[in-house]
Amino acid sequence: MQQPSFFAVLSQWLVGARRRGTHVRASLWAVVITLVVLLVGSWLVVPAERGAPGASITSYPRALWWSLETATTVGYGDLYPVTLWGRIIAGVVMLVGISLFGILTAALATWFVGGAARDLRRAGRVLRRAGHRGRAEASTDVEALHRRFDRLEELVREGRGPRP
């Protein structure tokens, strides 16, 4: 049996994400777009930097490392663009990387808050049911007391009640 390719698994996840929450879908798409931007940025920065005096991003493997450290905002300083086009590409890679981390953080927060909100709704339903049950029981007890008091008043009126 042949193992499915990475892209087949990824597309199944993205298409199947319709059943998941919006935050999961957004996170998956953010990761895919970030990967594409990293690969395309690496591919574009090499020709933009090639031949420039003092250029350190001169091969695709170095460009991949540079795009990864740029997108994650690590920026060791070992590789950096020196040309205008290289810097423009770096800006795009930085913005996409920062956006990815923002989206992932928001998705995680949504997941945590959503779980807490579900727990609160569940607790609220339990409390409402308990309150309704308690009111019904109290109502039954009050009605029984009213009947007893009515009976006592009746006995007192008839003169059969307790004498002082």
Residue 147 has a pLDDT of 86
What is the residue-level pLDDT of the chain in tens, covering all 164 positions? 678 777 677 666 666 655 566 667 777 888 888 888 899 999 999 999 988 999 999 999 999 999 999 888 887 888 989 999 999 999 999 998 888 888 888 878 887 787 777 888 888 888 888 777 777 777 787 788 888 888 888 888 887 756 65
Residue 17 has a pLDDT of 53
Burial class (CB in 10 A: 0-12, 13-18, 19+), 23: middle
Helices H, strands E: what count in the chain?
Answer: 4, 0
Contact status, residue 44 vs residue 118, Cβ threshold 8 Å: no
Contact status, residue 48 vs residue 93, Cβ threshold 8 Å: no
Residue 163 has a pLDDT of 60
Residue 134 has a pLDDT of 74
Residue 44 has a pLDDT of 94
Report which of 75, 52, 55 is spatially closest to residue 65, judged by C-alpha positions: 75
Q: In sequence order, what are the residues at sequence separation of 6 or more whose Cβ sits closer than 8 angstroms to the Cβ of residue 18? A: 25
Contact status, residue 64 vs residue 42, Cβ threshold 8 Å: yes
